[in-house]
Structure 1
Amino acid sequence: MSTGLADNVRKLRRTAGLSQEALADEAALSLSTVRKAEQGGHVSMESLAALARALGVSTSALFATEAPQSVLSPQDEANRRNMAELRRALMPAVGLSAPLSEPGEAGELSGIRQGVQDGHALYQADRYTSVARKLPGLLRSSEAAVTALEGEEQQHAMIARAHALLLTGKYLTQVRQYDAAYFALVEAIRLARETGQTQLAATGVVGLCWLLLRQDRFDEAEQLGAQTATEIEPRMSEASPARLAVWGELWLRVSAAAVRNNRLDVAQEARRMARTAGGAMDGEHLDFPSHWGAFGPVTAEAKAVEDLALVGDARGVLRRADDGPLSGKAVRNYGKLSPNNWGRHRLDVAHAHIALGSHQDGMDELMQLRRTSGEWLTHQPMARRVMADVLKTRKRTLTKDMRSMAAHLGVAG
Structure 2
Amino acid sequence: MNLPERLQSVRKRRGLTQRGLAELSGVSISLIRKLEQGERDDTRLETLRKLAKALQVPTSALITSVAPEEPSEDWGPLRAALLKQAGQVAEPPTVNGVRQALTASMPLFSNDRYAELARLLPPLLRDADTLGPEGREVRSRLLHHVGWLLTQTRQFEAADVALRRALDESSDRLDAAAVVNTRCWLLMRQGDIGGALALATRWADEVEPRISRATMAELSAWGWLLIRLSTAAVRNNEPGEADDALRLARSSAVAMGAEYSPDADFLRAFGPLTVAMKRAENAMVEDRPDQVISMAEKIPTRDLRPTSNNRNRHLLDVAKARVQLRQYTQAFDVLQGVRGSAPEWIVNQHYARDIMGTIVTRRRTLSPEMREFAEFIHLDL
The match for 2:327 is 358
- Identify which of structures 1 and 2 has the higher relative contact order when contacts are C-alpha pairs closer than 8 Å and 6+ apart: 2
The match for 2:336 is 367
Aligned counterparts of 2:371 and 2:217: Cα–Cα separation in 1? 43
Match of 1:90 among 82, 95, 113: 82
Aligned counterparts of 1:406 and 1:281: Cα–Cα separation in 2? 41
Structure 1 343/249 Cα, relative in aligned 2: closer, same or farther at 3 Å? Answer: same
Aligned counterparts of 2:64 and 2:310: Cα–Cα separation in 1? 31
Counterpart contact for 1:248–1:278, Cα < 8 Å = yes
1:191 aligns with 2:169: yes
Structure 1 142/117 Cα, relative in aligned 2: closer, same or farther at 3 Å? Answer: same
Counterpart contact for 1:284–1:335, Cα < 8 Å = no
Matches within 5 A, 1:266-277: 266-277=241-252
Instruction: Give the alignment's TM-score, normalised by structure 2.
Output: 0.93
Does the residue aligned with 1:354 lie in a helix, a strand or coil? Answer: helix
Structure 2: unaligned runs, 5 residues or longer: none
Counterpart contact for 1:202–1:246, Cα < 8 Å = yes
Q: CA deviation at 1:188?
A: 0.8
The match for 1:4 is 2
Counterpart contact for 1:343–1:369, Cα < 8 Å = yes
The match for 1:96 is none
Structure 1: unaligned runs, 5 residues or longer: 94-100, 147-153
Letter in 1 for 2:105: G
Matches within 5 A, 1:58-137: 58-63=58-63, 76=70, 79-92=71-84, 101-104=86-89, 105-137=91-123
Q: CA deviation at 1:167?
A: 1.4
1:26 aligns with 2:24: yes
Q: CA deviation at 1:23?
A: 1.1
Q: CA deviation at 1:165?
A: 0.8
Does the residue aligned with 1:145 lie in a helix, a strand or coil? Answer: coil
Aligned counterparts of 1:167 and 1:290: Cα–Cα separation in 2? 9
Where in structure 1 do 4 or more consecutive aligned residues deviate above 4 Å?
334-337
1:47 aligns with 2:47: yes
Match of 1:241 among 216, 230, 239: 216
Match of 1:139 among 112, 125, 128: 125
In the TM superposition, what whole-angstrom CA distance separates every residue of 1:366-398 from its partner, at most 9, and x where no partner exists? 11111111111111111000011111121x211
Moved more, 110-119 or 380-389: 110-119
RMSD value, Cα: 2.1
Aligned counterparts of 1:344 and 1:285: Cα–Cα separation in 2? 19
Instruction: Give the alignment's TM-score, normalised by structure 1.
Output: 0.86
Structure 1 366/5 Cα, relative in aligned 2: closer, same or farther at 3 Å? Answer: same
Letter in 2 for 1:242: A
In the TM superposition, what whole-angstrom CA distance separates every residue of 1:40-59 from its partner, at most 9, and x where no partner exists? 31321111011001101111
Counterpart contact for 1:229–1:251, Cα < 8 Å = yes
Letter in 2 for 1:56: Q
Aligned counterparts of 1:169 and 1:63: Cα–Cα separation in 2? 23
Match of 2:205 among 206, 221, 230: 230
Letter in 1 for 2:360: L
Report % sequence identity: 35
